[in-house]
Amino acid sequence: MSGFVAPLRILPFTLGSRRAALLIERNVYVYKAGWLVIFSGFFEPLFYLLSIGLGIGGIVGDIPGPDGTPIPYALFVAPALLATASMNGAIAESTFNVFFKLNYQKTYDAVLSTPLGPGDVALGEIGWAVIRSTLYALGFMVVIFVLGLVVSPWAIFAVPAATLLAFAFAAAGMAATTFMRSWQDFDLIQLVVLPLFLFSGTFYPITAYPPALQLFVQVTPLYQGVDLIRALITGAVDPGILWHVLYLGVMGIAGLAVVSRRLDKLLLK
C-alpha cells in the first residue's frame, strides 16, 4: 500500500495542488482496511450486464447502434453500464461520505487547522471520488473485454471518458451535498440518479421516446456519458463526441467552483 500512496501526491486530479493530494492520501489510508466497500458499487451494474445484457440480450438479438449499424444487445448495454458504474462511484463518495465528514465527523474542521483551505478540500474530495470511479471503470472494462465486447481500438479511450464523467458527477454531487441539512435530503439524490439510470438510453435507444422527450434526455448528464462511451467502445466515433466532452468538462468545473464557494462559507463562517 505504501508504494501506492506516494504517487498520489502528484496525481493530476489535484490540478497541481499538492495539499489537496494529501487529502486524497488520507482517504487511501482510511480505506486501506476496507477496500471491499469501495468496490461494492461496481457489482450492481455488473449484475445488470450479466442478467440483462447477456440474458435478455439472447432474446432481443441485434439493435441499432450509435451510427445505426446493428450491434448485439450486450454491446449496446455494456458501455451504458460502464458509465453508470462511474456515476455510482462518484455520487456515493461525493454525497453520503462527504455529508458525514462535513456534518458529523467534522473532518474538515480538523483539516482547516492545517495549511489546507476550502479549495484544497474541494479538490481533494472530488479527486478521491474520481479515483474511486476510475477503479470501477477499469474493473468494468476488464469484464467487457473478457466478454468479447470490445470491438474497436477507440475503446482505449473509454476509461478516460468514464473518468471525465466521474469528475462531472463528483463535482455536481458534492456541490449538492453542501446544501443538504439532513439525511432525508438524500432522497432527492436518488430521485435524480434513478431516472437518469433508467432513461438515459441505458437499455434501449432513446428513439423509443417522443421527439420532445428525446431532446430532454439528450441534455441530461448521464446520457452525455453513455453516448460518449458507447461511441468509443463500438467505434462509431464522429466529431459530435466533442460536445459530450465539453458538456461534462464544463459541468465538472462549474460544480467545483460551487463547492469551493460553499465550503468557504460553511467552514469559515
- The predicted-structure confidence for 116-162, as pLDDT tens digits, reads as follows 888 888 888 999 999 989 988 998 898 899 888 888 999 999 999 99
Domain membership of residue 9 (yes or no) is no
Least confident of 43-57, 85-99, 143-157: 43-57
**pLDDT score at 53:** 76
Domain membership of residue 5 (yes or no) is no
Give yes or no for a contact between 90 and 170, defined as CB atoms under 8 angstroms apart.
Answer: yes
Domain membership of residue 135 (yes or no) is yes
Phi, psi angles (nearest 5°) of residue 15: 50, 40
Domain membership of residue 172 (yes or no) is yes
Q: What is the pTM of this model?
A: 0.87
Domain membership of residue 77 (yes or no) is yes
Domain membership of residue 235 (yes or no) is yes
For 133, the grid coordinates are 470511479
Phi, psi angles (nearest 5°) of residue 202: -70, -45
Range of the domain at 162: 34-103+131-267
Domain membership of residue 69 (yes or no) is yes
Number of folded domains that form the chain: 1
Average pLDDT, integer, range 182-210 = 91
**pLDDT score at 15:** 41
Domain membership of residue 111 (yes or no) is no
**pLDDT score at 108:** 85
